[in-house]
Amino acid sequence: MRSPIFVLICALLLASCSQRIRYEDSKSVCTSGQLNLNSATEKELVELPGVGGPTAKLILEFRSTNGRLRRPEQVLLIRGMSESRFLEFRPLVCAE
């Protein structure tokens, strides 16, 4: 049987090897054609790829509860929003 310390060290090593997506460090200034997540309506949000009516409502609810988004990546805090879904519409949105 392996010691708990050995198992812990192995788990930490495996966790440190995982690949994580790094997002650009920009201030997320909106460019022409991008949808501002802080002013978007439900109808506009539904038009984003991978965002349906229920998800659009969750984004609006999150925004009203927590205030303006500082970065588009904050939508990942919303229940049910996966990183793969977010990456589908990331180029189309900003948060000013």
Burial class (CB within 10 angstroms; exposed 0-12, middle 13-18, buried 19+) of 58: middle
Instruction: Tell me if 31 sits within 8 A of 70, measured CB to CB.
Output: no
In a domain, 21, yes or no: no
In a domain, 36, yes or no: yes
The whole-number average pLDDT for the span 16-33 is 64
In a domain, 10, yes or no: no
In a domain, 77, yes or no: yes
Instruction: Tell me if 34 sits within 8 A of 94, measured CB to CB.
Output: yes
Q: What is the pLDDT of residue 43?
A: 97
- Number of separate domains in the chain: 1
* pTM, full prediction: 0.69
The whole-number average pLDDT for the span 5-16 is 75
In a domain, 44, yes or no: yes
- What are the angstrom distances between the C-alpha of 21 and each of 50, 72, 83, 87? 19, 14, 9, 10
Confidence category of residue 1, pLDDT binned at 50, 70, 90: low
Query: CA 82, CA 53: separation in Å to the nearest integer?
Result: 16
In a domain, 34, yes or no: yes
The whole-number average pLDDT for the span 52-80 is 93
Per-residue pLDDT at 67 exceeds 80: yes
Instruction: Tell me if 51 sits within 8 A of 89, measured CB to CB.
Output: yes
Q: Which domain holds residue 73?
A: 26-94
